[in-house]
Structure 1
Amino acid sequence: MPDLRRRTVLGATGLLAVPAPVPSSPPRLAFVGGYAAGLDIALAGHAGLRRGFTVPGVPAASWLALSADRKLLYATNETEEGTVTAVDVRDPLKPAVLGSRSTLGAGPTHLSVAGRHLLTANYTSGSLVVHPIRRDGALDETTDLVRHTGAQPHAHQVLPDPSGRWVLAVDLGTDSVYVYRLDAGKLVAHQQVTLPGASAPTCWTRRSPQWSSSARCSTRCSTSPRPR
């Protein structure tokens, strides 16, 4: 497993308890994102994380997200070709790769599950893409592609609101937060909030029932201002 650098640790997605055949405490797993050739799965214990195994076919998995029922995992493949991969983790000790889809852009850096759709932000291309999620968890063909305009658009994060009807996208290149309405797999532009020059926003945090921009989150997620 590659070293758990800061970016990799931030890409780790939750811990799953795996049922054990004996009454002892069940092992706990961590999905670890990074830039290696596969998705790393580590075993968690009192002494910390230790090497588990690698799932091939999930390259450069820089960001991970679980479905609401925690049965499916989605990963960005942050390459110039730009893809996202679906993984069935119903049995996390035997994960099954369900396939990958193009993000129609380069450098996908963040994704979120919004009901039956997967939302992805392409950093290098400064665009957002929507993929429907099939019944089995695999991804269908793209239903929408939105490109931000400006001198250097770099979409860094895309998140649905709690209702699943609205989507917020943060673009550090345009110093903006974009608000979209998610309608039948399409992102309908609603509002662009322009932040002070050189703010380079990278991510948002949700504080129920309100949304708020987090300067702390921006500082922690970015290792340098511009470019990333």
Structure 2
Amino acid sequence: MDVWVGSYTSATGGNGVGISTFRRTPGGGLAPDRSLELASPSWLTAHPTVPVVYATNELTDGTITTVSGDLEVLGTISADGADPCHLTITGDTRFLLCSNYSSGSLSVFALAEDGTVTGQTDLVQHEGSGPHAERQEAAHVHMSAERDRIVSVVDLGTDEIRSYTLADNGELAPLAVSAMPPGTGPRQLVRRPGSDLAYVVGEVAGTLVVVRENPLGTFTPVTTVSATKEPYVEGPKGPNWVAHLELRGDRLYLSNRNPDCVTEFDVSDTEPVALADHPSGAFPRHFAIAGDTVYVAAQRDDAIVAFPLGGGEPVRYPTGTPTFVLDFRSA
């Protein structure tokens, strides 16, 4: 199966080509395959039933590009916001949700059955700030998560998760506002299947926050732990800008930029227990777990760094300024 890698390109000071694809070898290695020149496709989301991938072009005048499974551009639309950084497809595959980081907004787009983006249906604009003067000077929408037509929007700048109901016509109506601990800088939200618990990445604080969701769309913090097993002392590299989160059964993995590791947690109980900090290259922005291998976008190493699930010797695969890793089996 293919591994697709999004990157920062010269359009935003990176040296990536756009989207690069690799073939997975039987032992979990990566063999370079093809590439598509595209301006800073920093986030990739595969349609669950149609062989297309949507890419955020993280630019001041943000756009979204639809790419076929054959790596051909099918169309590009305005994201209606600055620096789009995350895409979510709703469970019924009728809508595409785009988080615009710098403009602090969420755009909604309708999808046809063949995956074509047919038009924008709504835009919600966040306002506010947080206690961290540099990172929280304004609203910064970083992701959305949808469940049963409830859209929960994670705002790094305001320390909030704002939830909306999504109507059949694609319009959003405010439902609830949930406050995270001040200075958390929430970046991502992942729900735990079969429970009312969810996990929030605190990018600014360098933390993992466990929250309880009751009712749907309302989140209450339960406990907060460090995002790494070993204490991290800020040095020349800078603070721990926690990035991506993945949940696999009772194991949770999150990437820590500047500590430069993917930390593995046991979350079989409410209180997460850090098991190991797995070395993963410089500035691990995003990662994907495919089979028994973790593939990490080591942004400042110009490489995908792969290591066995559970830990092991990492292997580097060169590629320019990677920001995202997509296991295309999901399409």
TM-score above 0.5, yes or no: yes
Residue 117 of structure 1, aligned match among 59, 72, 95: 95
- Where has structure 1 moved over 6 Å in runs of 4 or more? none
Within a 5 Å distance, the mapping from 1:56-67 to structure 2 comes to 56=37, 58-67=38-47
The answer to whether structure 1 residue 30 and structure 2 residue 30 are counterparts is no
The answer to whether structure 1 residue 170 and structure 2 residue 146 are counterparts is no
Conservation of the 8 A alpha-carbon contact between 1:39 and 1:59: no
Higher mean displacement: 209-218 or 122-131? 209-218
Conservation of the 8 A alpha-carbon contact between 1:176 and 1:194: yes
> Match of 2:154, SS?
strand
Within a 5 Å distance, the mapping from 1:209-224 to structure 2 comes to 209=194, 210-214=196-200, 215=208, 216=227, 219-221=242-244, 223=257
Conservation of the 8 A alpha-carbon contact between 2:45 and 2:53: yes
Within a 5 Å distance, the mapping from 1:27-176 to structure 2 comes to 28-36=1-9, 37-45=17-25, 46=27, 48-56=29-37, 58-69=38-49, 71-89=51-69, 94-114=70-90, 115-151=93-129, 152-161=138-147, 163=148, 165-176=149-160
The code of the aligned residue for 1:212 comes to A
The code of the aligned residue for 1:131 comes to F
Q: 1:138 to 1:212 in 2, by over 3 A?
A: same
Shift of 1:97: 1.6
Higher mean displacement: 212-221 or 175-184? 212-221
Q: 1:67 to 1:47 in 2, by over 3 A?
A: closer
Deviation per residue, 1:105-130 (Å, 9 max, x gap): 10001011112110010000000000
Deviation per residue, 1:192-216 (Å, 9 max, x gap): 1011210111101121133513315
Under a length normalisation based on structure 2, what TM-score does the superposition of the two structures give?
0.54
Shift of 1:47: 5.8
Question: What is the number of equivalent residue pairs in this alignment?
Answer: 191
The answer to whether structure 1 residue 185 and structure 2 residue 144 are counterparts is no
More strand per residue: 2
Conservation of the 8 A alpha-carbon contact between 1:84 and 1:100: yes
* Counterpart-to-counterpart distance in 1, 2:156 and 2:243: 14
> Match of 2:53, SS?
strand
* Counterpart-to-counterpart distance in 1, 2:191 and 2:50: 20
Residue 198 of structure 1, aligned match among 183, 194, 206: 183
CA RMSD of aligned residues (A): 2.1
Conservation of the 8 A alpha-carbon contact between 1:101 and 1:140: no
| Rg (Cα) greater in structure | 2
The answer for unaligned runs of 5 or more in structure 2 is 10-16, 130-137, 201-207, 209-226, 229-240, 245-255, 259-331
Which residue of structure 2 aligns with residue 17 of structure 1?
Answer: none
> Match of 1:198, SS?
coil
Q: 1:101 to 1:74 in 2, by over 3 A?
A: same
* Counterpart-to-counterpart distance in 2, 1:160 and 1:204: 10
The code of the aligned residue for 2:143 comes to Q
* Counterpart-to-counterpart distance in 1, 2:257 and 2:172: 30
Shift of 1:155: 0.4
Percent identity, aligned pairs only, is: 33
> Match of 2:106, SS?
strand
Shift of 1:220: 3.9
The answer for unaligned runs of 5 or more in structure 1 is 1-27
The code of the aligned residue for 1:201 comes to P
Shift of 1:142: 1.2
> Match of 1:80, SS?
coil
